[in-house]
Amino acid sequence: MKAMLRPIENNEGTRCCKFEGVADVGAKLQRAGYICSKEIATVVYLAMVTQKPILVEGPAGVGKTELAKAVANSLNRRMIRLQCYEGLDEAKALYEWEYGKQLLYTQIVKDKINEVIKDAATLTEALDRIAGEEDAFFSERFIQPRPLLQALYSEEPVVLLIDEVDKADPEFEAFLLEILSDFQISIPELGTRKAVEIPFVVLTSNNYRDISDALKRRCIHLYIDYPDQDLELKIVQLKYPEISRQLALQVVDAVRHIRKLDIKKKPSISETLDWAHSLVALQVKDLSPETMADTLNMIVKYKADMDLIRRQAGHLLK
């Protein structure tokens, strides 16, 4: 509603940095190349307005990572990505203190230090004077910010993507919770630092491990499932506008059928897109069982899955 009252419409040329409502999220994400359901749009909108992180779950390749990128794109924000893995620690995620640099600087300015304390009467006085210059020794200069700190330090609001958080160790999760709770962090050498702008945070999980309840409570949740027929068709047509509607429909329907089979790895949106791409490249007009058998390796990766689908190819194309 509000969007309609605005005097000037946001068109693609102008910078926009906000979503004006659920419908606006859908429209803007689409312009950024991401087709989303109203459900996704609702959650994204809520996350933006309430500044709460979104925890996205869903099978591989349904566009979890892509969603964060699209949000960044459409809000004209920089995206900062933290890819999680086992053993990821604060030094890799937050900042590293550059002792080497600090030492080097200290060496170089040694003479200067001597000058400062030259006429100090007592040791205490000398120390006091050095302490007076402490800021020079412990300053941001010697900090190498990693993704999380970059996100907090950024003058412009960013989208912070914490990808596959379930791969990180539980210790790291606890630490993440602290940051996401109040968007501030205490650095022993420098004291507490607060976020300049609260970032739009997206966490993704592939359910490799259960996330702690505390972290879940901090986030709002979004489950992205395989898209319905209509949505997937739109995605295919958006990415390959040259594809005929009929072929696109055949592809989408075949993939949807294949997902229902009992196979090891279900084809995701990226596989649908790969398949559509190669069919377009091969100038296929109509998907026959033969073409399907020939191009099957685009959608299934396991031999057992392939055999199962070949046997059913006839049924899948009805």
Ligand X SMILES: Nc1ncnc2c1ncn2[C@@H]1O[C@H](COP(=O)(O)OP(=O)(O)OP(=O)(O)O)[C@@H](O)[C@H]1O
- Find the residue with minimal CB distance to ligand X: 63
Min CB(279)–other proteins separation in Å? 32
Strands 220-223 and 54-57: parallel
From the list ligand X, Mg ion, other proteins, none, partner contacted by residue 46 (C-beta under 5 to 8 A by kind): other proteins
From the list other proteins, Mg ion, ligand X, none, partner contacted by residue 60 (C-beta under 5 to 8 A by kind): ligand X
Stretch that binds ligand X, among 30-38, 81-89, 168-176, 290-298 (CB under 6 A): 30-38
Is residue 61 involved in binding ligand X (CB under 6 A)?
A: yes
Stretch that binds ligand X, among 61-69, 124-132, 190-198, 307-315 (CB under 6 A): 61-69
Q: Which of residues 71-90 bind ligand X (CB under 6 A)?
A: none
Min CB(246)–other proteins separation in Å? 30
Is residue 312 involved in binding ligand X (CB under 6 A)?
A: no
What track of x and - describes contact with other proteins for positions 166 through 205 (by CB under 8 A)?
---xxxxxxx------------x-----------------
Three-state SS across the chain?
CHHHHCCCCCCCCCCCCCCCCHHHHHHHHHHCCCCCCHHHHHHHHHHHHHCCCEEEECCCCCCHHHHHHHHHHHHCCEEEEEECCCCCCHHHHCEEECHHHHHHHHHHCHHHHHHHHCCCCCHHHHHHHHHHCHHHHCCHHHEEECHHHHHHHCCCCEEEEEECHHHCCHHHHHHHHHHHHHCEEEECCCEEEECCCCCEEEEEECCCCCCCHHHHHHCEEEECCCCCHHHHHHHHHHHCCCCCHHHHHHHHHHHHHHHHCCCCCCCCHHHHHHHHHHHHHCCCCCCCHHHHHHHHHHCCCCHHHHHHHHHHHHHHCC
By beta-carbon proximity to Mg ion, the closer residue of 193 and 265 is 265
Is residue 34 involved in binding ligand X (CB under 6 A)?
A: yes
The number of angstroms, rounded, from the C-alpha of 11 to the middle of its chain's C-alpha atoms is: 25
From the list Mg ion, ligand X, other proteins, none, partner contacted by residue 115 (C-beta under 5 to 8 A by kind): none
Min CB(155)–Mg ion separation in Å? 28
Q: Which of residues 252-271 bind ligand X (CB under 6 A)?
A: 269-270
Is residue 64 involved in binding ligand X (CB under 6 A)?
A: yes
Is residue 45 involved in binding other proteins (CB under 8 A)?
A: yes
Q: 104-125: b or e for each residue (b if 16 or more CB lie within 10 Å)?
A: ebeeeeeeebeeeeeeeeeeee
By beta-carbon proximity to Mg ion, the closer residue of 65 and 73 is 65
Rounded to an integer, what distance in angstroms lies between the CA atom of residue 201 and that of residue 161? 6
Is residue 42 involved in binding other proteins (CB under 8 A)?
A: yes
Binding site for Mg ion (CB under 5 A): 65
Binding site for ligand X (CB under 6 A): 33-36, 58, 60-66, 206, 235, 269-270, 273
Binding site for other proteins (CB under 8 A): 21-22, 38-39, 42-43, 45-46, 49-50, 52, 55, 57-58, 90-91, 99, 103, 107, 169-175, 188, 207, 210-213, 216-217, 219-223
